[in-house]
Amino acid sequence: MVLYLDLIIFKEFIMDFILIIVTKTVLKKSTKNTNIIIACIIGVIETIIDILMNINVAIRLALKLITSILIVKVAFKSKTLKEMLKELACFYIVSFIFAGIATSIMFSESLNNILKQGIIFGKYSDFLIIVSIIVGTILITVTFKLITKNIRKDNMICNVEIGILKNIIKLKVLLDTGNLLKEPITGKPVVIIEKRKLNHILENLKDSIKIYVIPYKTLGNEEKVLFGIKPEFIRLEEKNNYYSDDVIIGLYDGKISQNDSYFGLIGIDLFEKE
């Protein structure tokens, strides 16, 4: 049997690229194309080693695990172990779904396939690979949308305590994993709180609080600024007392919730468990 190494490399690169893009979409991550390309090259190198070297099953599994970790780390630049494990788990779920669909289509098309060193070779067309990619992408996208749709917003709302110069404010906020806003000078993450809920504190302590200026863009790409303050701490009461003292509060002049069901937007990833 003749193996065309250049074709295998190309297909492996494309598949890794698609897996990373789908994982990125599911996790709502932002990453550079350069990082994705480097991660795909790592996957290609692992495939070449797997094909050309006669290694046993244990070493092959270890190699694949290390490669997966490197791909995720390089592609998404994980800052914490928890974040990396979450990305790695999602990457594996997406990979298994694609692998299951691709294998089913390939073997239903032809039983004349050979499994060699963990790679399937046989008489199947590139068309079937494309079909498996399309089906896998649609299935994953629809599944995660349905899961997200069935999560009640009430379950994402929790009570918080905010400490500002020995004053404690309690209010409801919405957990928002897509909040990536940062204060430009310190680089500290920003949580959004309605200004009206803190006005009574700000008026009494306005000479004692340092004010931060936080530029941001609206959906219409309009440039605006938020004024911010640094609290002593923020504690999420209904999330097993998650806590942070290293964030900036962005003071929003309007209403975040039209029916006043919550008064702020906070990313759960910014907090640590007490």
**pLDDT class for 115, splitting at 50, 70, 90?**
very low
pLDDT at 112: 47
Tell me the average pLDDT of the chain: 77
For 56: left if phi > 0, alpha if psi spans -120 to 50, otherwise beta; the answer is: beta
Ranked by mean pLDDT, the top range of 3-7, 84-88, 150-154, 201-205 is 84-88
Ramachandran angles phi, psi of 215, nearest 5°: -75, 145
pLDDT at 15: 83
pLDDT at 224: 81
pLDDT at 42: 92
Report pLDDT digits (tens) over 1-41: 445 667 778 888 888 888 888 888 877 777 888 999 999 99
| Window from 27-36, 112-121, 203-212, 259-268 with minimum mean pLDDT | 112-121
Q: Which residue has the tokens 């906070």?
A: 266
Q: Which residue has the higher pLDDT, 215 or 105?
A: 215
Report pLDDT digits (tens) over 231-266: 888 888 765 567 788 889 989 988 888 888 899 888
Q: Which residue has the higher pLDDT, 203 or 272?
A: 203
Q: Within a 13 Å sphere around the CA of 239, how many CA atoms are in the beta-carbon half?
A: 25
Q: The tokens of 262 are what?
A: 């919550």
Report pLDDT digits (tens) over 36-87: 999 999 988 988 888 777 777 788 888 888 998 999 999 988 878 888 888 8
CA dist 12 and 255 (Å) reads 49
pLDDT at 127: 60
